[in-house]
Amino acid sequence: QVQLVESGGGLVQDGGSLRLSCAASGYTFTIYAMGWFRQAPGKEREFVAAINWSGGGSTNYGDSVKGRFTISRVNAKNTVYLQMNSLKPEDTAVYYCAGARYRGTYYDMNEYTYWGQGTRVTVSS
């Protein structure tokens, strides 16, 4: 099918930056859109960002990250990125990339078929 592998997580200070990568392999032609979700300790998984994969690359962001995070794609490398700037302690979470096969509700994790194992981001104060 499709495998997604996240990388780039780590420990940063408040106000710092990280770039997460998600490398896709397998039948990537089945992917319509790619998204990033995160799950903080004691909280439910929440939507972070999404990008159209097979088409024009339109993007969407969760309210909590707008203006700070940027999702991008390099289709030739089967890779999606999440550039995270001005990080806050509340951004601490495990970040997951996900792939959707069909057009749907971009912020709904139930719309996504493929999931990576996650990469941990810790932002210290």
Note the pLDDT tens digit of each residue in 58-69: 999 999 999 999
What's the mean pLDDT when you consider all of the chain? 96
Q: 11: which strand partners?
A: 122
User: Residue 55 pLDDT > 90, yes or no?
Assistant: no
User: Residue 56 pLDDT > 90, yes or no?
Assistant: no
Q: What is the mean pLDDT of residues 29-35?
A: 93
Whole-Å CA distances, 10 to 32, 79, 83, 105, 122: 29, 19, 13, 30, 6
Q: What is the pLDDT of residue 35?
A: 97
**9-75-52 Cα angle (round to 5):** 85
Q: What is the pLDDT of residue 54?
A: 86
